Amino acid sequence: MSSKIDNKQATATSDDTFFDVEKGGASSDAKSTDVWHVLDTQATMERLDTTRNGLSSAEAEKRLEEYGPNKMSEKERKSLIRRIWEQVNNVLVGILVVVAIVSAAKAFTAKTTEDAITNWLEVALIIFVITLNAWIGIMQEGSAEKAADALKAMLSSEAEVLRDGKATKVPAENIVPGDIVVVKLGDRIPADIRMIDVSNLACTEASLTGESLPIDKITDAIDAQNPADVPLGDRKNMAFSATLVSQGRGVGVVVETGDHTQIGTINALVNNVETQKTAVLEQIDRVSMVIAIFVIIVAIITFCVAFFQTGLGPLDAVGIALVCAVAMIPEGLASIVSLTYAWAVSNMAKKNAIVRVLPAVETLGSVTVICSDKTGTLTKNEMTLTAFVTSSARFQFNTDSTDRTSTNFTRNDSYLGTRSKGAGAAGDAALAPMSEGDSVPVKNGESPSMEYFQKAMAGGVLCSNSVLGKNGGREGEIGNPTEIAITRAAYFSGVEVEQMRSNIPAIAEVPFSSEYKFMATIHEPSAEVDGAGYDGQYIVHAKGAPDRMVALCSHQAKAGLLGEENKEPIDADYWMEQVSILSSYGLRVLALTRGEVDKSEVSAGENLKADFVNGQGPWLTMVGLCAIMDPPRPECVDAIAEAHTAGVRVVMITGDHKDTALAIGDMLGLVDETYSKAVTGPELDAMSDEERRHAVMTTNIFARASPQNKIEIVEALQAEKQICSMTGDGVNDAPALKKANMGVAMGKEGTDVAREASEMILADDNFATIVTAVKEGRVVWDNLRKVLMVNTPINNAQGLSVLFGMIFGLKAPILTPIQVLYCNLICAVTLGFVTAVEPAEEGIMLNPPRKTGKRLIGRFLLLRIIIGSIVLVACTVWSVFWAIDLGKNLDEQRSQASNTLTFSAISICLSARFAYNSAFSMNLFRGNPFCWYAIAPLVVIQLLITYVPGLNSVLFGMAAMDGIQWGIVALMMTITFVVMEIEKMIRKRLKAIGYDVSDRQLDPRFDDVNQ
């Protein structure tokens, strides 16, 4: 590189901002990549040591070797071995491994073939359990690393550059800083480039910046005191990698490649953001640790009782202790938790919410703040004409209609008739709506005919190069979104757009330019549209920025009606007042005007200049104003209201301008007396951490936000102990989607990058679906508590029944290892699934979100688990001693224990289905058909292992039972059910007098109050 690259400093940069072109065009300092837009084209070219003729091939090769290819770095991925290790590296699995080793040792030393087979079956079952849980855990892991792949898929594959002074196509990976790149309509920008020549160039940057509209590009330097404070959307002399050219042509110089581009920065953020672990997974880890300690203590006590009290040998005592350990380890807990999630995922998928990471379902139920992108999420991401304003009437357009009829336009003179409440101070000076007494062309509340709009909106249809999509939709549409919006409105009012353009083609044109902000086309007069009386004249349709067009008008069309008889002198103040009102709602406003010229003044096919329109003073006739916006989704208003009822705040984060964001927020119900202001990205950047934390708790609207701002907002909310969901569809949302507690991406309009960085995808792009998902998340939390209420007592009862049986004098364990594993994997999982799929209890969305730091097991749930465990242990041990009194042998005693435990566990399950309401009702038989689908086969299996010869004696160590024994089982089952329902009645009474029996309040003995 030339030494002048090292010696030049950018005079427009701050003292602490430096270029380092030797390291990829800019240094790794974040500020260094933020200065190209403040340099003029000459300074930029000098800085990069290049010319308008581009680099030589030799210099390009040298720079490619120096900077590396124009691609993004990949994050190191976990190997399969590492993933497996992460799943088995815990205390409970360790205990199971020890049990398996001891069982294998007992199999080798067994004196009979039957004992050897039994022990080897124990080993096989334990290995199966460990393998199954590890497989489930690996399958649950999200594919977040695919986000980087999705980013790379957005990059251009090749680009047109100038090498050795000639235009040539090169692979995009071979582009280097200093290359001169040529871009045109439909191209994907191959790197971050500084524009040096533009011809009506505009780029669609919604996926990167959140801007709804294409950004018109310029070549002038941006004037900024601090270059880094200029939002991406305002860097209009820059074109960013992976964005699309939507119109025009341009030439630019490459300033950043690979990881140094804006999309490369996002790639780094996506790779560096650590995935949050959900509260349930963390709590399951803690519960597992507590269980492990409890299991070890019980196993030691059991060994001592077996060895010292019962007088068994060391190996036999160890074997019995391990039976207790296996009994109390919740081998099926991971499976039932996964089943709980899977069921919720299945339900949500039916409602268009696709969950990519199973445990994330639970997170939705605890969300306190939903941070949502505006474009494409809260709004349609479709520029739409929403109002047409004439000299004496305004027409509201039904943006949601799919029918082609003029009734889609309705005269509503109060619609957008005063300034928006969200328009800042100006909103205090609300302007009065126009008079509603005029009935031309129709009365207020009525709809004009299709012929009226065919004439009034002719300028929008004919003075346009846009092409509508199939059936007026977005599929196949071409052109500027604002032009398409006007054309689409005419189409859905019944106008035959293509036929009209075919019948009245343009014979000459003044092309649009951002310099003069209008476009004009010249046409032969049409009797159907223009009326009679235009012999020897052409009709001129001109549309553009209202401030430019009003100044060029001498007349206005009364109520939008055409013809000399409907012309009247223009009221310029009125039109500018209407523009001001519409703009306060964040609407983009275009003026439709028309005029007449002698045919001698224009030649067919002539390339007209701007002075054809603006070079002869006021001469046009103002027809009307088209108010265009990316409208809110209608269902979002109701969804946001429901979220507020559920205690969930909705925050809108967008790249749009502040006024536009406030206006949309006002329409959505996000702006009120409490949350009345908006904060911009640069304002956030200037805040301290404390100020930023205050801002995120008092503001619902964030505008001009960068990707870094979105992460800062999420981090500030999390610092305020908020459970944060980030909803978005663009590339710029991906880092925040990963950082948030719950990332939600759009499925239809969203980018692959956003989808791969998220935990959940909305298949219908409907914000309202999020509220459904929040409800399902709350159901998951409640059901997980119910699962613990069922599974934990069952596991406890297995081990403690063995221990207390021996304490009370039994010489052998009342449950065999095979019975224990069967009970864990079949009984506990089956009954746990019943509660896992229990429907939502009434009023679940009237409760506030779960408090941060709240854990699954609170004092009342723990009390219920203890009561359930005591009842199960007491009933099981009691039934065995009863069987002994009846003279039953060991196998028959074990049959008694197994069946009493299983059927009493069914009682626990039936009661636990209803957390607060009594199970003594017909609801016991309704609402959850899976309850009986699960219990019926469980009963059949119990009968099979009790009565099938060989299966009962060889494998399970059981024997057939008589009627008296089944009577004992029925009695114990009833006792268990009644005890659990009495507990529920007492808890309901306590709730009525103000006790927190739902474990909603934080308790320092159980919850993380400092989280």
Give me the active site residues, please: 373
Q: With contact defined as beta carbons under 8 Å apart, do 805 and 320 qualify? A: no
Triad 691, 693, 698: Cα angle to 5°: 90
Q: Which of 231, 272, 29, 223 is nearest to 684 (CA)?
A: 231
Q: What is the CA radius of gyration of the chain?
A: 36
| Backbone conformation region of residue 525, classed left if phi is above 0, alpha if psi is from -120 to 50, else beta | beta
Give me the amino acid identity at 919. Answer: A
Name the token pair of 917.
């309401």
Q: With contact defined as beta carbons under 8 Å apart, do 180 and 197 qualify? A: no
CB burial string 375-410: b at 16+ within 10 A, e below: bbbbbbbbbbbbbbbbbbbbbbbbbeeeeeebebbb
Give me the amino acid identity at 562. Answer: L
Triad 624, 628, 630: Cα angle to 5°: 170
Residue 586 three-state SS? coil
Cis link prior to 505 (omega < 30° from 0)?
no
Q: Where are the beta strands (DSSP E) in 707-762?
A: 724-728, 742-746, 760-762
Residues 6+ apart with CB under 8 A from 855: 279, 283, 286, 1006, 1007, 1008
For residue 746, how many other CB atoms are within 10 A of its CB?
A: 26
Length of the chain: 1011
d(CA 341, CA 344): 5
d(CA 543, CA 749): 30
Helix axes 890-912, 859-885, angle to 10 degrees: 150
Bridge partners, 568 (sequence order): 556
d(CA 909, CA 980): 10
Q: Write the DSSP symbol of residue 315.
A: H
Strand pairing report for 244-256 and 506-513: unpaired
d(CA 667, CA 302): 67
For residue 285, how many other CB atoms are within 10 A of its CB?
A: 14
- DSSP class per residue in 247-289: EEEEEEEEEE-GGGSHHHHHHHHHHHSPPPPPHHHHHHHHHHH
Residues 6+ apart with CB under 8 A from 567: 555, 556, 557, 558, 621
Greatest Cα pair distance, the chain, in angstroms, is 122
- DSSP class per residue in 382-394: S-EEEEEE-SS-E
Cis link prior to 171 (omega < 30° from 0)?
no
Residues 6+ apart with CB under 8 A from 827: 794, 901, 902, 905, 938
Residue 248 has phi, psi (to 5 degrees) of: 75, -165
Q: What share of the chain is helix, strand, coil (3-state, %, to 5)?
A: 50, 15, 35
Q: Which of 686, 730, 735 is nearest to 708 (CA)?
A: 735
Q: Which of 1011, 801, 758, 784 is nearest to 905 (CA)?
A: 801
Name the token pair of 414.
């109060």
For residue 158, how many other CB atoms are within 10 A of its CB?
A: 15
